[in-house]
Structure 1
Amino acid sequence: MKIKSSSKMTSVGGYLEIQLPKGVELYPSLLKLNTGRNAFEYILKVRRYKLVYIPYFTCEVILEPLKKLGIQFKYYIIDEQMNPVLDIVLGPEDCLLYTNYFGLKQETVVRLCKLFANLIIDNSQAFFTKPLDTVDTFYSCRKFFGVPDGAYLQCKSDIKLKLIKDISIDRFSHLIKSVDLGIEHGYNDFIVNDISLSNLPIKRMSVLSQRLLSGIDYMACKHRRNSNFLYLHDYLEKYNDFSFDVASVNGPMVYPFLTSCSEIRNKLLEKKIYVASYWPNVLKWTTKNMYEYYLTTHLNALPIDHRYTQFEMKRIVNVIKTVL
């Protein structure tokens, strides 16, 4: 019997590698890239925009592809519901970037879709929100799951960039340390990994990240996020200066608790409850009388992800009770 040869034979035998569960990704049909900012860059390259309107209230990594490609950008403000305040007419080479804040602003996304043809939606904080069919949309996987990198992109264009596959093995140490030693022991590695993602070329998602994303029980994760979010909301709604429609909750990123009380973050930190800051760069872009400045200094992004249960949510509430 003649055996067909292969130019790329897979190995048989040897040591046993790490065993990762095989399943289905949440967005198997979308483009799989290495980072969210590179997904944004991909859109900019194929659409050939010359001017992009971006919110003041966003992460500074959004500027990376704009500066790399030499694309002009202008800031716009948001109101107290985190909706864009706009008085613009987009030209054929202009576009609007909007962030689906915390995964709670899909109604605004739908409204903007009807107003602007050239629209890009940043769903980095809204992983479980499916993209609208006609809208360029990107996702950052590591904002929601324990992966070293990875992004999904919807961009229905006839232009396709030819890309090589990324390799993620050197960005994995913080994830391994968190399992064996605890989250604190991996934090420095996490920061190093974060820095390493800057100015990377656009590549396809690594095999490692894709395998990890294929093994996640997405519906269980979404259910846990929803449950934790609503638990916090039951207690904190009356103290929260940011109002939103609870019916729109769909696997949100965090519980956004906005209050004039400035002691909460430090009190939570004392109890080893870590609250992310969104985003320190905004303080450099804005003035103290702007709403975005207030958001950056007073918004408490309370963790509600799938690692936690009602027990941890009660811990958070009990700490907040001591200062309200």
Structure 2
Amino acid sequence: MKNNYSSKMPSIGGYLELQLPKGEELYPTLLKLNTGRNAFEYILKVKRYKLVHIPYYTCEVILEPLKKLGIQFQYYTINEQMDPVLDFVIGSEDCLLYTNYFGLKQETVIRLSKLFDNLIIDNSQAFFSEPLENVDTFYSCRKFFGVPDGAYLQCTSDIRLKLVKDVSVERFSHLIKSIDLGIENGYKDYIANNRSLSNIPIKRMSALSQRILSGIDYKTCKYRRNSNFMYLHDFLEEYNDYSFDASSVNGPMVYPLLLSSSEIKNKLLDKRIYIASYWPNVLEWTTNKMYEHYLTTHLIALPIDHRYTHSEMKRILNVLKTIL
């Protein structure tokens, strides 16, 4: 007998699926896309900028959409507060891309929004910083949570691209392995997943990533990040060469510790404390006399995310106390 039911009708029965909690995303009204770099590409496509000013101190994946669309770009430098050095003119068909570094630069974002109409904010490192009204802003979900991909976008243009939904099932193995086998055993899959996201087309966020993001306790995650950050800061502030205002932390990505020594990362690694590097490509773009070059080789991004409590922060400090 021919089945007259639509193939899109939800099934009933069968085996039990992976059980994930249902809730609400932090940014339910924003556009839901598959990657942060594709959210950036979305803005570039609808705004049709001719030239984009990008910081030297950024991830190389930012170049993907610029090269794909054939859009010219120029690098700019940042100062020791990680604010842009605005020694250039932004034309009517140009725009400024600024990174909310480590989720600590919201005041700079606000200041820039008052100076420039053609502004794009990269909140890949600032998931909990809400987008400012009338400012194009994008987020990368996997920088903050255990999802294979996913991005949010506030786009001020009325133009909307027609997109198909992405599928993330082939990018999920490192997340499962981290639970069953430990984070080290999933690392190879994690790297492979990162590579698989290169130059993929803009799509809507997958059902898997959206489901995971709908079940996160964002209030607790932000609280834990803030608490861990301040626990480290209370001790490390006097040693930190990077000075910032910690009075209004808002779910920061990491604790940025800037020291003259470039050997501390390896000593932390020996104790199974893994430190991300932001960003190796900057060494190719800059000279060793530039501040961005120094940041890349000397900034230690200490993990403070919601997986951890003060117990893990104390362990980090105990290692650092033997070095500082």
Aligned pairs (5 A) from 1:15-30: 15-30=15-30
> Equivalents in 2 of 1:287, 1:90: separation in Å?
25
1:140 aligned residue: 140
Q: Which moved more, 1:85-94 or 1:61-70?
A: 85-94
Contact 1:136 1:155 in 2 (8 A): yes
1:240 aligned residue: 240
> Equivalents in 2 of 1:7, 1:233: separation in Å?
55
Unaligned regions of 5+ residues in structure 2, if any? none
Q: Could you list the per-position Cα deviations for residues 65-108 of structure 1 after superposition, in whole angstroms to 9, with x for gaps in the alignment? A: 00000000000000000000012222221000000000000000
TM-superposed CA distance for 1:7, in Å, is 5.4
TM-superposed CA distance for 1:310, in Å, is 0.4
4+ residue runs of structure 1 moved beyond 6 angstroms?
A: none
2:164 aligned residue: 164
Q: Which residue identity is paired with 1:190?
A: Y
> Equivalents in 2 of 1:173, 1:7: separation in Å?
28
2:94 aligned residue: 94
1:49 aligned residue: 49
> Equivalents in 1 of 2:168, 2:286: separation in Å?
36
Q: Could you list the per-position Cα deviations for residues 165-186 of structure 1 after superposition, in whole angstroms to 9, with x for gaps in the alignment? A: 0000000000000000000000
Contact 1:95 1:120 in 2 (8 A): yes
2:97 alignment partner, SS class: strand
Q: Which moved more, 1:7-16 or 1:308-317?
A: 7-16
> Equivalents in 2 of 1:221, 1:80: separation in Å?
29
> Equivalents in 1 of 2:275, 2:268: separation in Å?
8
TM-superposed CA distance for 1:319, in Å, is 0.5
1:311 aligned residue: 311
1:266 aligned residue: 266
Q: Which residue identity is paired with 1:214?
A: S
Q: Which residue identity is paired with 1:13?
A: G
Aligned pairs (5 A) from 1:96-245: 96-245=96-245
1:97 alignment partner, SS class: strand
Identity over aligned pairs, percent: 79
> Equivalents in 2 of 1:119, 1:194: separation in Å?
27
> Equivalents in 2 of 1:69, 1:303: separation in Å?
35
Q: Which residue identity is paired with 1:178?
A: S
TM-superposed CA distance for 1:8, in Å, is 2.1
Q: Which residue identity is paired with 1:177?
A: K
Unaligned regions of 5+ residues in structure 1, if any? none
Question: RMSD in angstroms over aligned alpha carbons?
Answer: 0.9
> Equivalents in 1 of 2:95, 2:167: separation in Å?
32
TM-superposed CA distance for 1:6, in Å, is 4.1
> Equivalents in 2 of 1:287, 1:73: separation in Å?
19
Q: Could you list the per-position Cα deviations for residues 30-62 of structure 1 after superposition, in whole angstroms to 9, with x for gaps in the alignment? A: 000000000000000000001000000000000
TM-superposed CA distance for 1:148, in Å, is 0.1
Q: Could you list the per-position Cα deviations for residues 254-292 of structure 1 after superposition, in whole angstroms to 9, with x for gaps in the alignment? A: 000000022211110000000000000000000000000
TM-score for both structures, normalised by structure 1: 0.98
Contact 1:32 1:152 in 2 (8 A): yes
The yes-or-no answer on 1:323 pairing with 2:305 is no
> Equivalents in 2 of 1:6, 1:68: separation in Å?
38
Contact 1:263 1:323 in 2 (8 A): no
Q: Which residue identity is paired with 2:255?
A: Y
Contact 1:147 1:175 in 2 (8 A): yes
> Equivalents in 2 of 1:248, 1:86: separation in Å?
25
Aligned pairs (5 A) from 1:31-42: 31-42=31-42
1:12 aligned residue: 12
> Equivalents in 1 of 2:261, 2:293: separation in Å?
15
> Equivalents in 1 of 2:223, 2:78: separation in Å?
30
> Equivalents in 2 of 1:293, 1:262: separation in Å?
12
1:281 aligned residue: 281
TM-superposed CA distance for 1:5, in Å, is 5.0
Contact 1:106 1:248 in 2 (8 A): no
1:294 aligned residue: 294
Contact 1:148 1:175 in 2 (8 A): yes
> Equivalents in 2 of 1:129, 1:214: separation in Å?
18
> Equivalents in 1 of 2:151, 2:138: separation in Å?
7
1:249 aligned residue: 249
Q: Which moved more, 1:7-16 or 1:119-128?
A: 7-16
Contact 1:123 1:140 in 2 (8 A): yes
1:68 aligned residue: 68
